[in-house]
Every structure is written in C-alpha cells, then in structure tokens.
Structure 1
C-alpha cells in the first residue's frame, strides 16, 4: 500500500447531547473523499481519538469504512498504553479499517529501543498495515527506524516533530540501510498545518502530508497541494502568506486550537460537527470571526491565482 499524496484527517462530529453524530460524519467523510485524498485517517488527532469511548470509536471507523466503500484506504487511530492500543487495533480491524495510525504511548517517556518494543507489541495484534506517529514522547532515532523494517506490518513513519535535520538523518539511514524493505517505508509529514513545511519536507524525501485544512477548506488545501506538485512557487507563496501562515498564527493563540480551528471552520462552512470535547476548548467569538476572515482572504487569493499564469520554481 502506497500513501502518496494529500491525506485526509476527518473531524469527529458530536451532537448537542454529546454523542457521535454518524450522519454528519458520513456527510463529512463524503465531502473529504470528493476532494480526492490518497487516504482517510479517522479517529486520529483531528478526529479527537483521545476523547472517544470504544463504542464511539467503532462507530466512527465503521461509518468511514462504509462511506469510503473501498474507493480509498481508511486508517484508524490506535493509542494509549500497549494493551489499550492493541484493543483499539483489534476494534479497527473488526470495523473494517485498512490500516492503523499508532499514536504515541500514554504519558510515559521511553528510549527509541523501548518504542520499537511498543510498536512491535501493538503490531502483533493484527495484520493491518501500521503507520507510526512520531511526536511528543514518541521519538525515534535512525537505528530505531531501521529496526522497524523488521516489523513486517509497519508501513511507515509520520513525523510530527518538525526537526528537519533529524528527519533527514532518519530517512537517509533507512533508504541506505540495504534492508529488503528499505525502499518501501513510507514517510509522511504530520506537522500541524503541514502546508507550511510541505516544500522543505518534500526536499528531504517526504512528499506526502496530512492536511487539517482539508477538513474545512478542501478547496484551499487541494489548490496548495496541486501548486506544490506542479512546482508553482508563486501560488505556494501566495496561499501561504494569505491563508496558511495567518492560520498558524491564530492556531498558536490557544493550546488545542489545532483541533478546535478545523471544527470551527467546518461549522462556518455549514457542517454541524458540534463542539470539541474537553480538555479542548472551542474558539472564542473573536477568534471565530478572525477565522472566517482568513477563509475569505484565502479564497479571494485563490480566485486571483486562477486567473494568473503558472510560475514554476518549487523543487519537485
């Protein structure tokens, strides 16, 4: 399975009564699929994995799998301690998921060798392909990344740290390892608002990325990805300056806005995704107005770009 392209991380809608809204989720997933991503990653960070009970998790995964209908792979988040992560992995398999995104282990810090043990332990629960999410307390070194090549179901590594130097070492070491699976390992850019680092990561051999923006402004997310793919430096710069960089500035105002912002954006777009669950907080009225203005500015910039000539310049 190759994950090359733009990756969708759908939101998890909640009703006013604080239950998962499967109907709105199906509509949301359908809209995401229409944008043409390479894969769906449900019940992950943007999908508020840590806020879901097991029954809710099953509902989210089943709904996404049913809506996808085999048109693209559906990955499901799994995490917590090793036993809990295994339980989520099994539930994902039973719900029809095509793969897993293994989130960092709960709370504890561990050396890279310990993380390899954790990953292998969870991977042994199912035959589902697994992407390992590197961030927070889950940090791999090059030797650990090479060791993961011996775990046959580990498909790839998603980076959420943003250390380009460390990621270059990791990618290069894996590719040059001589391991039979060295060329198969997938590397993904999983940073918040990954558009900001997309070109830099592409240059070190990490061309695919997750886009939180895709969950609420698919037109802007797809347009930026297409600009990167075709090497349109002017379009990338315009969309970054007019939308993505101001979005990052707003996101950084409050911890947890990486999830709350996409949900607010989806609500502004008319999708009844509801509120975020605690400990996250929803956008203030002022920040909601700022987000609405950013979306308007981003779409105005996109309209201008569509009437302007293409300017090559971004390295492919």
Structure 2
C-alpha cells in the first residue's frame, strides 16, 4: 500500500443520470476517460460532485466498479464515503472489495460534534479498511490541532482536505505537522483560493472546471507554480472569476453548473438530470456560462473539446 495522498489536479467526476433517472454508465465511462486523457493526477468518484448523497449502495458499487475498470491503474482512484458512520463504513468496505486506492471521508450528516466525536467519526471510518483515507474538513467537521495530530497517528490517514478556509488554522496545521500527510485544497471553486494555499504546502486541489475545461485548469496551475502572474491574472479575468460569479448565484450549482459546462462543451451528459435537492442551472445562467466558455475556448483552444 502506497501511503501517500495524490498530488496535482484531482478529478471529481459527476454522476450522469439518464432521462429515467438511472445512472448513465456509458456516459460515466466516457467522462472518466476524458479526465484521464486530460492528464489529471487522480480520480475521485461518488464524492460531493458525484452526488454521493443521492446514491444507493447498488448504484454506488456500480460506479466504483466502472471507475476501477476505466481508470485501470493509470492514476490513483478514490471514492467518497461519509454521512452516518454505518453507511460510511459500508461504502468503505465496498471500495476495498473493488481494490481502489482509498477514500475521501465526507462530513458527518447535520450533527456538529465535539472534538472527541469528530475524532471518533473519522478514526472509525479510516480504520474500517486498510485503504488510504483522506479526511475532509468542512461544514460539520472542523477540527483543532490536537484532534488532527491524533488522527494522523492512524496509518490509513494520508491526507487532509480543507473546505473550511480558515487561514489561521491552516497555518497552524501545516507549520506544525509539515509533510507527515498530504494537503489538499477542497474549497469551492478551488482555483479561487489556490494562490493562498500553495505557500502553505498544499500541492493538490479538486477542480470543478476540470470536468469540462481541464486544459485551462492545467494552464492556470502551471502558471501559478511557475510564478507567471500575467497568465494567472488573464485566466482569472477570462474564466475563473466569471464562472465563480455564476456559481454563487444558485444553491447546488457546485454540482449542476459542472453538468451544464460538460453539456456545453459536448460531453455526454444531460445537465437537467440531477437528483433533489439539487436543481438544474437556470436558463439565463446556462446562457451566461455558454458565452464564457465560447470565449475561453477561442482564446485557450483544446483538442479534447469541440469548438462552440
């Protein structure tokens, strides 16, 4: 077992549904292949972007099987587990059964526990299998340094993903713990915050826009690491800031806006097919995104997406 968290740009595929509401397995295969062909460093299926909250165990296992055969060892493959501790450990064992590399532990449902409760929740799930585990700080799971230091004594825990955004806490965490674990940026539209995370030692992030314009994610991240502030600024102005302004206008757009972008660039997905409580992107926002992507692909062309 390679006890190391993935680095680089991490792909979080959505779960495509057909017009009958079932998982569209062929579309899922094609979408994962698109991310692999685009050079993303890892694949995380059935996580937040994959509507983890809306999948039953049979659908979940089918997605894991499909991802395993499609990725086929090319990059690390992780799944999402979480919610209540019993459902999380069940899905962790499904993931282990199919030989994935690890799983991302999503937040507990609704409850804000004390630090001891957070520790027990994460530790129980992490030790349910021998797979790698990445703990995800956000929403109801926000820990202090003592809790994190206790958790990283668990061999299975290889990474810490942050979706909380407290720089004071992150500085304390990273400067105390260093490279004992991997550091992943999991903030909404992570490109918005990555310039602040890189100096702290965060060397990977989950990119929503990589689902449909991964070459622009790559161009942005390379420019950021190389100190090319001109390119970073241009991509912010042309792509990241305009898309983020749309994302903030709708609850659930963290999922449905990705599906809209994928549909716009010609990937096999129906952007209207999401599961409640997520709703499709409003028509006016869809049109706005379409115009942004048209201009972006004219300026930053890719051989993996069609011309708009």
Q: Do the structures match in fold with TM over 0.5?
A: yes
Q: Which of 47, 52, 59 pairs up with 1:49? A: 52
Q: Which residue of 2 aligns with 1:189?
A: 185
| TM-score when normalising by structure 1 | 0.91
Q: Which residue of 166, 170, 178 corresponds with 1:167?
A: 170
| Deviation (angstroms), 1:96 | 2.4
Q: Verify: 1:116 aligned to 2:129, yes or no.
A: no
In 2: Cα distance, 1:207 partner to 1:127 partner: 24
Deviation track 1:48-105 (CA, whole Å, cap 9, x = no partner) reads: 1001111111111111110111111100000111111100101111122110000001
1:8 to 11, 21, 33: 11
Deviations 1:204-259 (A, max 9, x none): 11121110110111121121122122221110111011110111110010111011
Instruction: Verify: 1:281 aligned to 2:279, yes or no.
Output: yes
Residue 68 of structure 2 corresponds to residue 70 of structure 1 = no
Distance 1:250 1:80 in 2: 28
- Stretches of 4+ aligned residues off by more than 4 angstroms: none
Q: How does 1:124-135 map to 2 (within 5 A)?
A: 124-135=127-138
Do residues 30 (structure 1) and 26 (structure 2) align? no
Q: What corresponds to 2:195 in structure 1?
A: 199
1:58 corresponds to? 61
Distance in 2 between residues matched to 1:189 and 1:60, nearest whole Å? 24
User: Are 2:38 and 2:214, in contact at CA under 8 Å, matched by a contact in 1?
Assistant: yes
> Structure 2, unaligned stretches of length 5 or more?
302-308
The equivalent residue for 1:290 is: 288
Who is 1:136 aligned against? 139
Counterpart-to-counterpart distance in 2, 1:254 and 1:2:
32
Query: Aligned partners of 2:98 and 2:263: how far apart in 1?
Result: 28
Q: 1:214 aligns with which of 195, 210, 213?
A: 210
Cα separation, 2, equivalents of 1:252 and 1:105: 24
Task: Quote the RMSD (CA, aligned, Å).
Answer: 1.2
SS of the equivalent of 1:150 reads: coil
Q: Distance in 1 between matches of 2:244 and 2:171?
A: 24
Partner of residue 145, structure 1? 148
Measure how far apart 1:200 and its partner are: 0.8
- Does the CA-based 8 Å contact 2:163-2:185 persist in structure 1? yes
* Secondary structure of residue in 2 paired with 1:29: helix
Deviation at 1:107, TM superposition (A): 1.2
Gaps of 5+ in 1: 176-182, 304-316
Q: Distance in 1 between matches of 2:299 and 2:223?
A: 13
Do the aligned partners of 2:162 and 2:184 also contact (CA within 8 Å) in 1? yes
**2:258 paired residue number:** 262
Q: Is the 2:104–2:134 Cα contact (8 Å) retained in structure 1?
A: yes
Instruction: Work out whether residues 142 and 174 of structure 1, in 8 Å CA contact, stay in contact via their aligned partners in 2.
Output: no
1:264–1:288: 8 Å Cα contact kept in structure 2?
yes
Separation of aligned partners in 2, 1:271 and 1:16: 16
Q: 1:188 is paired with a residue of what secondary structure? A: strand
TM-score, reference length from structure 2: 0.93
Deviates further, 131-140 or 89-98: 89-98
**Is the 1:61–1:96 Cα contact (8 Å) retained in structure 2?**
no
- 1:263 deviates by 0.5
The 10-residue stretch of structure 1 (23-32 or 211-220) with the greater mean CA deviation from structure 2: 211-220
Q: Which residue of 1 aligns with 2:42?
A: 39
